[in-house]
Amino acid sequence: MKWLDESLTKFLGDYGSFKFDDHNNLKEEDFLRIYDLIESVGRFELMQLRESNEKSRQKMFADAFKKQEGQGDSKAYKTYISKIFTDIEKEISLYQEVQDQILKKVKINENIWNSSMEVYLPSGEPYIRKAIRFSMSSPYTYSGKKTEKEITEIYGRASDFGLELLTKSPSFNQCL
């Protein structure tokens, strides 16, 4: 990602070096700049990865769902589902990779970053990030005894909980 290195060098020239408060957290303005950069680059990289993943799965999709004598190809279907799971894992890890690369370039260690996130982001943000990772991967690996309805209810309650944390957060409401 040569373009990212060049962009980060310019970003550092425009906004670095970053300042910290008495509690060793980034100053809010610096935190928000870096957070926005991570989110923007993460979304851009994710869009490219998803586009590539979709192209690579097109033939697999056709093979998995084409009808041969009234039935789809079960081996092709399993291969397709496995590929989706692998692609989702790549998407989940991509964000962390982007964050790590940017934090390394801007010379902010992970402890300072995590502490700053606790201070400046809505209280539900860390929960939501963990929930997203769990929810994106768990349907493909779940082997428990809960029914589809029970799992759907759990996701519904988790979503309601996350939304409630966001809507009660002054930081979130200021953004609206």
139-152 pLDDT, tens digit each: 445 556 777 677 67
Whether residue 106 is predicted with pLDDT greater than 80 in this model: the reply is yes
pTM score, whole prediction: 0.59
Q: What percent of the chain has pLDDT over 90?
A: 0
Cβ(124)–Cβ(165) below 8 Å: yes
Cβ(118)–Cβ(129) below 8 Å: no
What mean pLDDT, rounded, does the chain reach?
75
Burial class (CB in 10 A: 0-12, 13-18, 19+), 90: middle
Q: Cα-atom radius of gyration of the chain, to the nearest Å?
A: 20
Q: What is the pLDDT of residue 139?
A: 44
How sure is the predictor about 98, in pLDDT bands with cuts at 50, 70 and 90?
Answer: confident
4 closest CA partner among 89, 90, 91, 97:
97
31 closest CA partner among 40, 44, 14, 18:
18
Q: Is 58 helix (H, G, I), strand (E, B) or coil?
A: helix
Q: In this predicted model, which residue has the larger pLDDT, 121 or 108?
A: 108
User: What is the rounded end-to-end Cα distance, in angstroms, of the chain?
Assistant: 33
Q: Within a 13 Å sphere around the CA of 72, how many CA atoms are in the beta-carbon half?
A: 14
Q: What is the pLDDT of residue 130?
A: 55
Element (H, E) at 55: helix 28-65
Strands (E), the chain: none
Q: Where are the domains of the chain?
A: 1-109, 121-176
Separation CA 71–CA 64 (nearest Å): 10
